[in-house]
A and B are shown apart, each in its own frame.
Chain A
């Protein structure tokens, strides 16, 4: 049974990492969001393997059921209709690759592998009691009551803040542009960019000035 658990862990680990790497490398932002959702599932499965059932189910409920839908809505409301010809990586992406790789290889792995984790010895007869949903509930009502209430107020503030930030006054609310209007807007932008004086140091290629992802 131990080998089964090890195999399961390795399968989940590979799945999570592959999904994460696909998230950060695919061009199409909708595909990236869907790969992120897969990685959320993988992490939830890992929590179940670690016998944190409430947390695993909460992860699926909150991340896949709510945050993912939020992300998909935001992607669909901020679409640029030009297609995905633009590179989605910044010009200095190799630095962005070097820093995490160095962090992982030079800091995380040596620390983790060589540290003497003081794992408690396996108990003699019975398996250790693992705190479950009921203990979490009791703890939230006793020791962690204040953080619980503060988290509730935090969520309320986040909700109100999101509504305020994204709210559009009725008279400013734009309707969906027709195709003719989109073409006219695109031509206007290209003319603007073409007549702009070239700055000395430009980090943005002209053809990608209209930017954005699909």
Chain B
């Protein structure tokens, strides 16, 4: 039964994960809307997950640690998205804005 390990070389998958991470990094750094920044962070977490699953599949497919690690990353990402969005809502209530540039009362 042909599988992905024969059809697609590992560097390709890692390059995809790296590219996704860089796109997410660009989004997180350049967006003004705080929710937009959070979208970039979610992309980065997905890229990390692809990396983990690729390494699991290509190097040690019979050990379950790779998938477990990826599941924990998904769990933590969900928890962090929940709290981040709650904070965004709280900031919106206090300052009527979600523009990251305007929440600058600590700026020197």
Contacts and interface: CB of A to CB of B under 8 A. Distances in A.
Interface of A: 1-3, 5-6, 9, 13, 16-17, 20-21, 23-24, 29, 32-33, 36, 39-40, 43, 46-47, 49-52, 54-55, 58-59, 62-63, 66-67, 70-71, 73-75, 77-78, 80, 86-90, 93, 95-97, 99-101, 103-104, 108-109, 112-113, 117-120, 122, 127-131, 135-136, 139-140, 144, 147, 151, 154-155, 157-159, 161-163, 165-166, 168, 174, 203-204, 208-213
Interface in B39-89: 39-40, 42-43, 46, 49-50, 53-54, 56-59, 61-65, 67-68, 70-72, 74-83, 85-89
The 4 closest A-B CB pairs, nearest first, are A24-B27, A211-B99, A158-B79, A96-B30
Nearest to A6: B7
B32 to A, nearest CB: 5
A33 B40 CA distance: 10
B14 to A, nearest CB: 4
A58 B77 CA distance: 13
Interface string B1-39: 111111110111111101111111111011111011011
Contacts of A161: 83, 86
22 contacts: A2-B2, A9-B12, A13-B12, A24-B27, A24-B36, A29-B33, A39-B20, A39-B43, A39-B46, A46-B50, A55-B74, A63-B78, A117-B58, A131-B61, A136-B71, A147-B68, A158-B78, A166-B89, A204-B102, A209-B102, A211-B102, A213-B32
A158 B30 contact: no
Say what secondary structure dominates the interface of chain B.
helix
B6 A122 contact: yes
B32 A89 contact: yes
B100 to A, nearest CB: 8
Interface of B: 1-8, 10-16, 18-27, 29-33, 35-36, 38-40, 42-43, 46, 49-50, 53-54, 56-59, 61-65, 67-68, 70-72, 74-83, 85-90, 92-93, 96-99, 101-102
A208 B99 CA distance: 10
Nearest to A7: B7
B23 A77 contact: no
